[in-house]
Structure 1
Amino acid sequence: MEKNPDKLPFDATKLFEALQYQMVVALEYCYKLEKGKRLWIEVYGDVTLEGVSQVEVKLYADTLRDGHPNIWNTLNNWLNKTFDHRAYESLVLMTNQEFSPRSTLTKWNSSTAAQKHALLAAIYDPVEKKFARSKAAEPSEGLALQRSVMDPALKDELLKVLEKAVFITGSPSLKKRIHDFKVLHLRAIRESKHQNFIDDILGFIGSNKFIESGWEISCEDFNAKVTELTKRYMTHSSIFPEVDVDALEQSIDLAEIADRPFVKKIFEIEGERRLKKAALELLIAGEVIDQLYTDSLASPFDIKRYQKNHLDRHQDGRQEAMIDCMGETCPTQLKRQSLRFFFAQHSAPVVKLNTFEDTTTEFRNGIYHMLADVKADRVEDEFYWRLWDE
């Protein structure tokens, strides 16, 4: 297969961007949810805030002309018999588009319902007259849509819709909306975790859990998720850092690390079946420490003290285990006892790092392998799994 095949005629990039734009708008409205209220996506419209707003979200590259379908389609949808506009305080068309320079609707939001109707009539009437003078047998799609909205039989309902109808034009770009979201809602979140927070909260909103149940998000569910993520990613979080274990595991090449001290010390006790896991634990510990430093959640002093405490605990435990091996000369038995010690150390209760309430076993074990991987300044401080002296 070619590395850079020609693009297919259809480019879905813009579609995905529009979907993400809608999700970010939905996220912003989730923060407006009050206790006991719900938000829907793609149920009554693009985004619906119970009892408050029904929002149509548009991401388009062109200008918002008087006859643009985004205007007339939206009004037509709000007039649909299956849509109860009385359930909302406002009906919002939100678009990144700007009104065209000669638009009739630039003063839309400051107009009364009757004035809005007159503005629409000023757009529709000339189009209808032009069609009457033409020889066309059927009206254009745009005219048919305008006729549906301006139907005299629906005027009373249309006026009720227009009273609540708000057009938000020039809505910020996706990039700007995400930037503003970070400034407004993520001040307490570690900067390096801003994208993680956004990915997780958008993943929550778009999860199958909601899609399968009608894409309904309650205030309580949303608050619980925000609380969970804030606790995990906040500046002084007590939640232990997470790492991409799968990616780290895929980066392990046992042939490349064959000469590393921690590897030789595992082979020394014939624990090679545990080697790949040991390598992964060492990588996990390194990745966590990098995160701790980056986010100022721990200092080099904190890590050195944690390592020193575990070195001391290990050395004392090793000396105790060696007592049971006194007088033993059989290499097989010594290796077997050493392997038992190895697993006992790995399965021991984890001492937490600083105030992290869930310091992981993998991190602690990775600290052991870090200690085993360095040459100690003093012989008595050298880290071994073996229960015999050379």
Structure 2
Amino acid sequence: MNKKLSFSSPEPTGAIITQFLIAVQKCFEMKVDNCVYIETDGDVSIFNTSNNENNKQIEVKEYFDPLTDSHLNFWKTLNNWMNPKFNHEKYNELVILTTQEIGVKSIFNKWNDLDLDSKYAELKNIVVKSNGRFIMREKEWKNGDKKVTKPKSLKLMENILETNNEVKIKNIINKVFIIDSATKRDLLPKEIIERELKHIPENNKNQAFNSLLGFVIRKEIYNVGWEISYSDFIQECKDINQRFKEESILFPIIDSFKETNEFEIEEKKSYAFAIKIEEIKHEEEVIIEAISDYCFTIKTLMSEFNHRSSKLKSVKSYESDLLRTFKSKHRIASNNCNVNKTIRESQIFYDETISAPVQSFDIFNDTPMIYRNGVIHNLINENDNLYWKLNPKNS
């Protein structure tokens, strides 16, 4: 499913996802009395509900080509802010947040540091230069008997900078701030997680973030937009913090560790734990399942726990508890075993042991059976005095 169909277009949907990710990011930046709005006046807006200080309207743009002087990204956004239905007076800052890098020769490299008159002069100059280039091309096209059409971007620039718009355009561009090279949506969650969710245990970070994203998405006022207040967001953060910090961490299952190839199976059949299952004449599939459990546990130990010193003590403690439990249950089963039914009752002991409820390991609340059973097989493999075969005490 890596090949994109010719009629498939992920960009619009991706842009919406980016918009919500930025909204989550801005929610973390809220102060008391702030609200974040989505699709109310534009992409993302930040309002102070008690006064009109530091209100921002943010247009989120995903482009992959450089932001040049005549790029439609800038001019279309400026045109939207010029729309009579948009009340720019509500905002102290109008932000273009784009994934683009600013072109090397573009005036936008110094835009945020220019004063108002300089910004206005630079925009007028862009229109003059763009019109000059068009006139030159127009002459070439006429000589070649080609139809002449003024570029859409140039028409837009000229409409925005009409003489009767001067007061309004100056009021608007005085508030315009450009943030370029913004993090793209594939890396934005990781960036937010690393900065804002440091207090959440590592294995729960993604789930905590997804919960916050879901919370923001659910805050829609139907067909009006999305509104997330400071108090609501802070309360959600507290709830998520409590849930994901106090709950046990999810066990780090790596699905590929569950896969056992033929070579591993044949090799492990000569291991002590597999031979001890053969002693009780259990089915071939039971031995293969045991090998799979054993391999999963060994790989998990090597990958996830052995390099984490804080976990080594827990691993040893878990093994010790399982060892004591196994010995105890083996003694009880042996005492109750009929010598004439040793093999059959040993098989029952095996099945009951590996299907028994799993005691949790360390802070994990979902310790998988495959890991627990693999630990038992490893203990039997390493201990010459541990067997599945029962030792009847009566005749």
**Does TM-score exceed 0.5, indicating one fold?**
yes
Distance apart, 1:211 and its partner CA: 9.2
| Structure 1 residues 202 and 54, CA gap change in structure 2 (3 angstroms) | farther
Of the candidates 229, 244, 251, which is equivalent to residue 260 of structure 2?
251
The code of the aligned residue for 1:77 comes to N
Indicate yes or no: 2:121 matched with 1:122: no
Moved more, 139-148 or 155-164: 155-164
- Is the CA contact 1:90–1:164 (under 8 Å) kept in the aligned structure 2? yes
Give the aligned length. 366
| Structure 1 residues 255 and 292, CA gap change in structure 2 (3 angstroms) | closer
Indicate yes or no: 2:395 matched with 1:376: no
Distance apart, 1:318 and its partner CA: 1.1
**Which whole-Å deviations, capped at 9, do the CAs of 1:260-280 have from their partners, x for residues lacking one?**
433344452535555555444
- Is the CA contact 1:248–1:283 (under 8 Å) kept in the aligned structure 2? yes
CA distance in 2, matches of 1:269, 1:200: 45
CA distance in 2, matches of 1:339, 1:207: 49
Q: What corresponds to 2:321 in structure 1?
A: 309
CA distance in 2, matches of 1:208, 1:308: 43
**Which whole-Å deviations, capped at 9, do the CAs of 1:195-218 have from their partners, x for residues lacking one?**
x94x66776677799499689585
| Structure 1 residues 161 and 189, CA gap change in structure 2 (3 angstroms) | same
**Which whole-Å deviations, capped at 9, do the CAs of 1:292-351 have from their partners, x for residues lacking one?**
33343312x44234323321221111111122224x4146xx41x334333433454544
Q: What corresponds to 2:173 in structure 1?
A: 162
Q: What corresponds to 2:251 in structure 1?
A: 241
Distance apart, 1:29 and its partner CA: 3.0
Distance apart, 1:67 and its partner CA: 1.9
Indicate yes or no: 2:136 matched with 1:139: no
**Which whole-Å deviations, capped at 9, do the CAs of 1:86-118 have from their partners, x for residues lacking one?**
5544221134423544x4455533455565334
- Is the CA contact 2:41–2:57 (under 8 Å) kept in the aligned structure 1? yes
**Which whole-Å deviations, capped at 9, do the CAs of 1:29-72 have from their partners, x for residues lacking one?**
34324579665777865555566433334465655432222221
1:264-283 superposed matches below 5 A = 264-267=275-278, 268=280, 270=282, 274-275=286-287, 277-283=289-295
- Is the CA contact 2:20–2:216 (under 8 Å) kept in the aligned structure 1? no
| Structure 1 residues 316 and 187, CA gap change in structure 2 (3 angstroms) | same
Structure 2 gap segments, 5+ residues each = 49-54, 140-146
CA distance in 2, matches of 1:263, 1:87: 74
- Is the CA contact 1:67–1:123 (under 8 Å) kept in the aligned structure 2? yes
- Is the CA contact 1:240–1:360 (under 8 Å) kept in the aligned structure 2? no
**Which whole-Å deviations, capped at 9, do the CAs of 1:187-240 have from their partners, x for residues lacking one?**
5577xx59x94x6677667779949968958536973696379639xxxx9525
**Which whole-Å deviations, capped at 9, do the CAs of 1:339-390 have from their partners, x for residues lacking one?**
4333433454544444555544443333212222x1425xxx3232x32469
The code of the aligned residue for 1:164 comes to K
- Is the CA contact 1:38–1:216 (under 8 Å) kept in the aligned structure 2? no
CA distance in 1, matches of 2:281, 2:226: 57
CA distance in 1, matches of 2:16, 2:164: 35
The code of the aligned residue for 1:282 comes to Y
Distance apart, 1:143 and its partner CA: 1.0
- Is the CA contact 1:30–1:222 (under 8 Å) kept in the aligned structure 2? no
Indicate yes or no: 2:356 matched with 1:345: no
CA distance in 2, matches of 1:350, 1:145: 67
Of the candidates 373, 377, 393, which is equivalent to residue 365 of structure 1?
373
| Structure 1 residues 200 and 167, CA gap change in structure 2 (3 angstroms) | same
Structure 1 gap segments, 5+ residues each = none
CA distance in 2, matches of 1:349, 1:27: 40
| Structure 1 residues 89 and 115, CA gap change in structure 2 (3 angstroms) | same
CA distance in 1, matches of 2:239, 2:196: 14
| Structure 1 residues 239 and 161, CA gap change in structure 2 (3 angstroms) | same
CA distance in 1, matches of 2:208, 2:84: 34
Structure 2 length-normalised TM:
0.67
CA distance in 2, matches of 1:43, 1:293: 52
Indicate yes or no: 2:107 matched with 1:98: no
